[in-house]
Amino acid sequence: MLISDLKKTCNECEGSGYIRGLKELGTIQINLRQLCHVCSGKGFNLTELGYDLWKLYKPMIQNLINDPLKKRTE
């Protein structure tokens, strides 16, 4: 399995995570960098296989993070 089987480059921002744009204020043009709305600024989108694996591993990863935090507060 390759990483390309799990994620693909966002077509909207071409993998940069940002949408390029110009805004005119009088005679000045400002370069605006906004997070891509398609990939939420990540630059990639999960494939169906990647999404399925994420759903499988997400609860285990959350437990790995939450268990030590609970022990610290006890």
Domain presence at residue 15: yes
pLDDT confidence of residue 33: 72
3-class SS letters over the chain: CCHHHCEEECCCCCCCCEEEEEEEECCEEEEEEEECCCCCCCCEEECHHHHHHHHHHHHHHHHHHHHHHHHHHC
Q: Is 38 in the same domain as 54?
A: no
Q: Which residue range forms the structural domain that includes residue 66?
A: 46-74
Above 70 in pLDDT, residue 45?
yes
pLDDT at residue number 29: 63
In a domain, residue 39? The reply is: yes
Question: Does residue 32 sit in the same domain as residue 58?
Answer: no
Is residue 62 pLDDT above 80, yes or no?
Answer: yes
Do 38 and 14 fall into the same domain? yes
b/e burial code for range 38-73 (CB count within 10 A of at least 16 → b) = ebeeebbbbeeebeeeeeeeeeeeeeeeeeeeeeee
Residues 53 and 69 in one domain: yes
The answer to the question of residue 1 being in a domain is no
pLDDT tens-digit profile of 25-37?
A: 666 666 667 888 8
Q: Is residue 2 part of a domain?
A: no
For the stretch 2-24, pLDDT in tens is 888 899 999 988 898 988 776 66
